[in-house]
Amino acid sequence: MKTLAIYLMCGAATPKLAEAAVEGGADIVELGFPFSDPLADGPVIRRAGERALGEGMRTAACLECLAATRRR
């Protein structure tokens, strides 16, 4: 049996995207918290983190995003 895991960077659309991923068959949804110095991340996740930070996603906002995603 295979497992479909989806990675989403925290952002305003994340709860809706996570819900769509689960409806589409995702078994696991991992939420990423942006980091200002992403040394180990590849270019796609690095850009997603930069965008999230630009939108004001900080730890408190990410925790709110996580809670909203769990409620959905």
Residues serving a catalytic function are 30, 41
Return d(Cα 60, Cα 12) in angstroms, integer.
Answer: 13
Q: How far is CA 71 from CA 1, 11, 16, 43, 51, in A?
A: 28, 16, 11, 30, 24
Residue with tokens 């295979």: 2
